Amino acid sequence: MRYEKGRKDASRQKILDVASERFRTDGIAASGLAGIMKDAGLSNGAFYPHFPSKAALVQESVSAALQAQSLQIAELLQSVGVAGMIDAYLSTQHRDDPGHGCASSALLPEIAREPGDTRALYTQGVMALVDQLATELPAGMKDREGTAVAIYSTLIGALELARAVEGEELSQRILASAAAAAKALATLDIEPKEKLS
């Protein structure tokens, strides 16, 4: 039986959406194709007409998640500025919803173990996010890109730590302390040591 192109595209997008959420919630290794396909409302056999392998699905899911995050960050930077974007990233809501949140904070250890082409794609996406943030930092900063990397690293690490610790009070302190540190970085004039490539 043949289906129209729109139906195939919709099925493919459903698989991507479910996989992206499952990978960020449960991890890449713990998310099997059978579970993803079941959650997408499709049979296991329907996977391969859309993706050649789980690795290809991971690559596309990570890329889509980074693109979605870029749009969210752009909206936040435009509406509430750098400080507001930092507050939104390090919010309780973001901490408590990894399935719809930052792919980096949910998947970094696993992405580091992915094949080189996936890591290269991830690197491109991350550097696009860094550049996006760097353009919003004070124009007089000597190393806007380096500062953006430091801010982004602070946000990701703090969110991972806030999710991992036991106890709401400690988790909130981590989020608040990291937000203050990231905002301080956004106002510093740092001498560059070496440009990132």
Helices 116-134 and 103-111: crossing angle in degrees, nearest 10, is 150
Confidence of residue 169 (pLDDT cuts 50, 70, 90): very high
Q: What is the average pLDDT value for the chain, to the nearest integer? A: 90
Q: Which residues of 130-160 are buried (b: 16+ CB within 10 A; e: fewer)?
A: bebbbebbeeebebbbbbbbbbbebbbebbb
pLDDT of residue 3: 52
* Structure token digits, residue 11: 């099925």
**pLDDT classification of 9: cutoffs 50, 70, 90:** confident
Residue pointed to by tokens 């435009």: 78
Taking the CA atoms of residue 60, residue 64, residue 66 and residue 70 in that order, the dihedral angle to the nearest 10 degrees is 150
Phi, psi at 21, each rounded to 5°: -70, -45
Q: Please list, in sequence order, all residues whose beta carbon lies within 8 angstroms of the beta carbon of residue 16, skipping any fewer than 6 positions away.
A: 57, 60, 61, 64
pTM of the model: 0.83
Give the residue-averaged pLDDT of 22-31.
92
The pLDDT value given to residue 190? 46
Place of tokens 């250890």: 109
The band of 41, judged by pLDDT with boundaries at 50, 70 and 90, is very high
